[in-house]
């Protein structure tokens, strides 16, 4: 137990450090004065007497330092307790606030970044899907090797689904699903809901049971019995207040009554758009499911999902599918070759192509943690070097090596625990930020939760690094002989001790790693700039888009082969366009389906007249993009019309067929010739479809992504569109200023045409573009943040080493000044040392980046891994950073007063 | 005369306690006394003296207070405590046996 006196003494030390300092000064001053008087008594002059007294006393500073050490060393009774060491370590950290603060912050950043990125990786890539035996679930896509559209998943046909359901051997269930939009309610404020139509075994196939009620029965596929609906948990909570009594009640969907038979489990919203191929136009999250029989005839939009029997491998599942495709070839020889399918494991499908991005970001976060550890080790070493004197005294005062090591270890543990706590708080906040702000196209966003194991692992790694880099030199330092340390006053330690060398190596490593991260983020920034700066073929500012769905009950679709749009739908569209056009601030309005960057795109087979028959297919594709348009689409999108004319209101159902093609299509079909007046028709050469005359050529438009190459495309007026999938229409409005202000007036204009039609998916074109680049921007943002932090850390490391070097060599600098060296020469010396270290790191870092950059390759657009612009920029940035880190120490070196420096020796 | 011998590690505490056992003294006085009593053979390094005094104070072996010196100067006066005397007795015993042992070895023929 400490005595009362010791407690008081410590209290006084804590509360009034100034007073203690004053006391020490007084005591030492009194000593010197008394010695001076004695010297005078021996016959010296007053001045000489004082000088001798001071000389005999020795350097006051080092005596005071020793006294401080005595006072900050716990006295005997508390000494041997862990609590005492802890108390001491805390006080020691508090005394070096800058050092402790920087170290803690650095480590906390590394821990936060690593745990956050790993939580994302683990939530998206590693955690099992929340379905029963998800490894048995596959998605079934159509596969047409001859039809490379740049995306690999095609719909499967309804007739094939029937065959698969009937003749399956390796599967316990096979289902099909297709998105369908529903307008809820028939009242003044209809709401549009994201529905999915599914065949009856859908819930069995994916492996979930409804939380309330039941799944569909096979009888409910029959028209007439199919007006039943299962709600998603989220919809049930939002619209129905989580009331279990809704089961059995009736709601109105698309003006027809549907009975609620079930509620899906919490969190279940399959299919989610981010987890499905973009061109299937799956909803962001499914809100309700309704049953259907697989539709037969007409273009199919079906996706397939199946559950394999236990123990069936992917190859066996695929073999069974192939067997049934051959069977289908026999049953329907006219479709031979078009019945192939490909099974994709559910996990592969859901996680999709973000694996590369997430793994790269996690790797980057790990590198950042490494840098943080190196930096912390760096700071620990720096502090040890400046504490050699103190440690030597402590050893002389009777502390054993083990005890000193224990105190240092406790200090390191304190720093890492505080950093760990902060890092975990940061990680938790980061996870919730990613969940709310994360890119819309990141799959399994809802499955991302903070991963405690990773937090613990990161802290463990940090502690290990702290112990490794901090403790080993500490053991060495603590063995320094007392007499040496005291005589040297703790300053003249040799410049090239092992720990100084270690620090230089660490700093070079730190620079190398941060160069690697900086290059990575530079490449992503350049790539993103290319994506966003590229010619989209349409203009983003001042553009607004939205969708409306015409309920088939009121606006029936005609069926193939003679189908054209129902006159009621045509009337709705032309009325709506007229009324929106009349709104002040609207410069142009049109419908266009599909609009670019809005998910599903459409394509068609066609036949050109007067084209070189040897043309064959376009890069292996017998198909062009197909867009239905109203007059004014090009003006509304801001797409330049390069030749000819736009559609006009006189292009009607009965008038001669017209078509606008894009530049790629014109150059493909009629290179070097005028395409205006040429003719094409839909289908193959033998199809009876009417001819359409080319009346204009538009610029190429990017449709799916910002990084795609241009594809041939044709535009057809909506009045002459023979395809039936037109109940959902996309509008595009070009405004004079802020487009969001037009939403209200547009809603009123549409309500005046048909009050039951809600607006949905209201997006500015800016938002569509920004969504299309969401993952790239996410990756770039995170990587840039890592790169910037890494550079700052490297700068701190460089500064520490260079400043220490200057401090150590200040007598040398003083001597050089005395011998006539100019300030400039001294500054140059220091800078040369800093730049030497930085260059080693730079070279190693660039080499590392060239190797590690391969990981990024698939994420880069029009930028190579060895992009010279990025390399030069990073080199310049690093040289600037180095200069910044060295300038202060260099100036200090050049300002050393030769007398002071030599005196100190 | 030979240059003064530097104090052996750990003996400074013993000497300080011994000097203080003869009466309260301030720091400078203590160094003078050691110097005198040892007939100028031992000099005390001030860099060690004050840390040693403060350390002994921290352990409760000496007590210190500010007083006025004979020359009307504010000085810090150190006094040995009861614990300090116990320690002195014990450490003196240790030193004697140690010194006798060293002596024996050095005089071995």
Query: Along the 109 residues of chain B, how does pLDDT read in single tens digits?
Result: 334 455 565 678 888 888 898 888 888 888 888 888 877 777 777 777 888 888 888 778 888 888 877 777 788 889 998 888 988 888 888 788 777 777 777 776 6
ipTM of the shown complex: 0.80
Spatial separation of the C-alpha atoms in residues A300 and A278, rounded to whole Å: 16
Nearest to A57 among B32, B46, B74 (CB): B46
**Which residue from B minimizes the CA distance to A481?**
B9
Spatial separation of the C-alpha atoms in residues A271 and A176, rounded to whole Å: 12
Report residue A523: phi and psi, to 5°.
Answer: -60, -45
Spatial separation of the C-alpha atoms in residues A711 and A701, rounded to whole Å: 8
Does A62 contact B28 at a Cβ distance shorter than 8 Å?
no
Spatial separation of the C-alpha atoms in residues A285 and A294, rounded to whole Å: 22
Query: Which has the closest alpha carbon to A784: A519, A427, A527?
Result: A519
pLDDT of A889 strictly over 70: yes
pLDDT score, position A54: 80
Does A28 contact B73 at a Cβ distance shorter than 8 Å?
no
pLDDT of A388 strictly over 70: no
SS3 category, B79? strand
**Residues of chain A with pLDDT > 70: what percent?**
82
Q: What's the burial of A347, exposed, middle or buried (CB within 10 Å: 0-12/13-18/19+)?
A: middle
pLDDT of A742 strictly over 50: yes
Q: Which residues of A touch B75 (CB under 8 A)?
A: 27, 30
pLDDT of A279 strictly over 60: yes
pLDDT score, position A6: 54
| Predicted TM-score (pTM) above 0.80 | no
| Per-residue confidence band for A637, with pLDDT thresholds at 50, 70 and 90 | very high
Alpha carbon of A42: minimum distance to chain B alpha carbons (Å): 15
pLDDT of A272 strictly over 80: yes
CB half-sphere exposure, A178, CA atoms < 13 A: 18
Among A29-38, A510-519, A555-564, A720-729, the range scoring the smallest mean pLDDT is: A555-564
Q: If you count DSSP H runs as helices and E runs as strands, how many of each does chain A have, helices first?
A: 28, 21
Please provide the average confidence, as pLDDT, over all residues in chain A: 80
Q: Which residues of B touch A58 (CB under 8 A)?
A: 45-47
Tell me the CA distances in angstroms from A402 to A471, A508, A845, one per residue in order: 11, 31, 38
| Per-residue confidence band for A219, with pLDDT thresholds at 50, 70 and 90 | very high
pLDDT digits 0-9 by tens, A845-857: 999 999 888 888 8
Whether the CB-CB separation of A13 and A56 falls below 8 Å is answered with no
pLDDT of A519 strictly over 60: yes
Q: Which residues of A touch B31 (CB under 8 A)?
A: 31
pLDDT score, position A70: 67
Q: Which residues of B touch A57 (CB under 8 A)?
A: 46
Query: Which has the closest alpha carbon to A768: A591, A532, A444, A535?
Result: A532
Spatial separation of the C-alpha atoms in residues A305 and A141, rounded to whole Å: 9
pLDDT digits 0-9 by tens, A706-739: 888 888 899 999 888 877 555 678 899 999 888 8
CA angle A861, A862, A864 (to 5 degrees): 95
* Tokens (6 digits) for A25: 């000064």
**Residues of chain A with pLDDT > 90: what percent?**
22
pLDDT score, position A337: 67
Query: What is B11-106's CATH topology?
Result: Arc Repressor Mutant, subunit A (1.10.10)
Number of Cβ pairs closer than 8 Å across A and B?
77
Alpha carbon of A99: minimum distance to chain B alpha carbons (Å): 26
Going by their DSSP bridges, the two strands A679-682 and A603-608 should be labelled as antiparallel
**Which residue from A minimizes the CA distance to B12?**
A397
Whether the CB-CB separation of A447 and A358 falls below 8 Å is answered with no
Q: What is the dihedral of CA A433, A439, A444, A445, to 10 degrees?
A: 20
pLDDT score, position A820: 81
Whether the CB-CB separation of A268 and A215 falls below 8 Å is answered with no
pLDDT of A339 strictly over 60: yes
Q: Which residues of B touch A71 (CB under 8 A)?
A: 54, 58
Spatial separation of the C-alpha atoms in residues A522 and A870, rounded to whole Å: 6
Domain residue spans of chain A: 1-58, 99-114+354-532+774-904, 144-339, 552-755
Report residue A704: phi and psi, to 5°.
Answer: -95, -40
Does B58 contact A6 at a Cβ distance shorter than 8 Å?
yes
- Dmax (CA) for chain A in angstroms is 131
Does A58 contact B74 at a Cβ distance shorter than 8 Å?
no
pLDDT of A773 strictly over 90: no
Does A70 contact B9 at a Cβ distance shorter than 8 Å?
no
Alpha carbon of B70: minimum distance to chain A alpha carbons (Å): 11
Does B74 contact A26 at a Cβ distance shorter than 8 Å?
yes
Does B50 contact A9 at a Cβ distance shorter than 8 Å?
no
pLDDT of A598 strictly over 50: yes
**Which residue from B minimizes the CA distance to A2?**
B59
Does B58 contact A34 at a Cβ distance shorter than 8 Å?
no
pLDDT of A483 strictly over 50: no
Spatial separation of the C-alpha atoms in residues A375 and A416, rounded to whole Å: 13
Whether the CB-CB separation of A557 and A724 falls below 8 Å is answered with yes
Does A69 contact B51 at a Cβ distance shorter than 8 Å?
yes
Whether the CB-CB separation of A390 and A62 falls below 8 Å is answered with no
Q: Which residues of A touch B77 (CB under 8 A)?
A: none
Q: What are the residues of chain B with a beta carbon less than 8 Å away from any beta carbon of chain A?
A: 9, 26-29, 31-32, 45-48, 50-51, 54-55, 58-60, 66, 69, 71, 73-76
pLDDT score, position A201: 92
């Amino acid at each position: 137990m400490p005595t009362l006196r010791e407690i008081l003494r410590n209290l006084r030390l804590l509360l009034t450090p100034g007073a203690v300092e004053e006391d020490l000064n007084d005591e030492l001053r009194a000593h010197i004065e008394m010695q001076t008087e004695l010297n005078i008594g021996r016959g010296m002059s007053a001045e000489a007497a004082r000088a001798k007294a001071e000389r005999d006393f020795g350097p006051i500073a080092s005596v005071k330092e020793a006294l401080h050490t005595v006072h900050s060393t716990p006295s005997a009774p508390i000494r041997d307790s862990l609590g005492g060491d802890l108390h001491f370590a805390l006080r020691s950290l508090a005394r070096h606030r800058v050092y402790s603060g920087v170290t803690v912050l650095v480590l906390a950043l590394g821990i936060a970044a690593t745990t956050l990125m790993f939580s994302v990786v683990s939530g998206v890539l590693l955690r099992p899907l929340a379905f029963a035996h998800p490894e048995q679930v596959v998605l079934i896509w159509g596969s047409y090797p001859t039809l490379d559209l740049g995306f690999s998943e095609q719909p499967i046909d309804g007739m094939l689904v029937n065959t698969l359901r009937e003749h399956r051997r390796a599967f316990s269930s096979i289902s099909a699903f297709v998105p369908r939009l529903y307008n809820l309610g028939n009242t003044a404020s209809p709401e549009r809901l994201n529905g999915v139509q599914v065949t009856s075994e859908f819930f069995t196939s994916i492996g979930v049971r409804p939380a309330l009620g039941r799944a569909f029965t096979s009888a409910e596929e029959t028209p007439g019995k199919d007006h039943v609906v299962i709600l998603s948990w989220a919809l049930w909570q939002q619209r129905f207040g989580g009331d279990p009594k809704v089961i059995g009640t009736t709601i109105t969907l698309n003006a027809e009554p549907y009975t609620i038979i079930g509620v899906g489990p919490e969190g279940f919203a399959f299919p989610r758009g981010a987890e499905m191929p973009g061109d299937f136009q799956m909803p962001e999250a499914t809100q309700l499911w309704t049953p259907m029989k697989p539709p037969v005839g007409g273009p199919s939009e079906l996706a397939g999902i199946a559950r394999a029997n236990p123990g069936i491998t992917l190859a066996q599942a695929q073999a069974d599918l192939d067997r049934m495709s051959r069977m289908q070839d026999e049953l329907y020889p006219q479709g031979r070759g078009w019945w192939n399918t490909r099974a994709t494991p559910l996990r592969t499908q859901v996680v999709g192509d973000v694996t590369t991005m997430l793994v790269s970001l996690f790797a980057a976060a790990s590198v950042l943690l490494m840098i943080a550890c190196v930096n912390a080790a760096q700071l620990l070493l720096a502090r040890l070097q400046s504490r050699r004197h103190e440690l030597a005294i402590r050893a002389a005062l009777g502390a054993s090596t083990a005890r000193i090591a224990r105190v240092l270890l406790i200090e390191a543990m304190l720093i890492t625990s505080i950093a760990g706590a902060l890092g975990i708080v940061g990680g938790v906040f980061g996870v919730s930020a990613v969940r709310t702000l994360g890119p819309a196209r990141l799959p399994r966003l809802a499955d991302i939760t903070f991963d405690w194991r990773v937090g613990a692992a990161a802290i463990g790694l940090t502690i290990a690094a702290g112990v490794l880099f901090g403790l080993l030199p500490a053991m060495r330092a603590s063995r320094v002989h007392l007499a040496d340390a005291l005589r040297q006053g703790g300053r003249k330690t040799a410049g090239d001790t092992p720990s100084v060398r270690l620090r230089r190596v660490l700093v070079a490593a730190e620079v190398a790693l941060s160069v690697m991260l900086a290059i990575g983020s530079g490449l992503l920034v350049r790539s993103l700039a290319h994506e966003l700066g590229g010619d989209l073929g349409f203009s983003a500012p001042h553009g607004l888009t939205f969708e409306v769905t015409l309920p088939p009950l009121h606006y029936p679709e005609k069926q193939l082969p003679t189908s054209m749009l129902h006159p009621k739908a045509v009337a709705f569209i032309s009325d709506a366009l007229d009324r929106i056009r009349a709104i002040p601030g609207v410069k142009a309005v049109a419908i266009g389906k599909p609009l670019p960057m809005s998910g599903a795109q459409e394509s068609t087979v066609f036949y050109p007249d007067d084209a070189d028959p040897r043309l064959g297919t376009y890069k292996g594709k017998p198909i062009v993009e197909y867009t239905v348009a109203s007059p004014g689409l090009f003006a509304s999108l801001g797409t330049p019309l390069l030749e000819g004319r736009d559609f006009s209101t006189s292009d009607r159902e009965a008038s001669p067929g017209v078509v606008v093609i894009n530049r790629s299509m014109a150059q493909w079909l009629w290179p070097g010739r005028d395409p205006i007046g040429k003719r094409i028709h839909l289908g193959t050469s033998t199809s009876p479809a009417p001819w359409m005359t080319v009346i204009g050529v538009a610029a190429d438009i990017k449709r799916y992504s910002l990084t795609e190459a241009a594809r041939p495309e044709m535009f057809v007026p909506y009045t002459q569109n023979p395809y039936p999938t037109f109940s959902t229409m996309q509008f595009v409005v070009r405004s004079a200023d802020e487009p969001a202000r037009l939403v209200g007036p547009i809603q009123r204009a549409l309500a005046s045409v048909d009050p039951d039609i809600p607006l949905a998916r209201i997006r500015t074109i800016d938002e569509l573009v920004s969504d299309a680049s969401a993952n790239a921007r996410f990756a770039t943002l995170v990587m840039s943040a890592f790169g910037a932090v890494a550079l700052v850390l490297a700068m701190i490391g460089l500064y520490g080493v260079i400043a220490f070097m200057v401090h150590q060599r200040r007598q040398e600098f003083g001597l050089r000044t005395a011998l006539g060296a100019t300030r400039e020469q001294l500054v140059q010396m220091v800078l040369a040392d800093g730049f030497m270290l930085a260059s080693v790191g730079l070279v190693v870092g660039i080499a590392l980046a060239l190797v590690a950059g391969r990981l990024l390759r698939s994420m880069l657009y029009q930028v190579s891994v060895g992009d010279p612009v990025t390399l030069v920029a990073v080199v310049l940035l690093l040289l600037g950073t180095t200069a910044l880190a060295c300038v202060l120490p260099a100036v200090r070196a050049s300002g050393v007063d030769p007398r002071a420096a030599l005196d100190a020796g | 005369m030979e240059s003064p011998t530097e104090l052996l590690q750990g003996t400074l505490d013993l000497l300080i306690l011994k000097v203080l056992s003869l009466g309260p003294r301030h720091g400078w006085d203590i160094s003078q006394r050691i110097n005198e009593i040892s007939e100028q053979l031992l000099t005390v390094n001030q860099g060690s003296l004050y840390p040693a005094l403060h350390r002994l104070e921290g352990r409760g072996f000496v007590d210190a207070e500010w007083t006025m010196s004979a020359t009307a100067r504010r000085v810090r006066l150190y006094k040995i405590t009861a614990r300090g005397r116990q320690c002195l007795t014990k450490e003196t015993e240790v030193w004697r046996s140690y010194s006798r042992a060293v002596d024996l070895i050095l005089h071995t023929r």
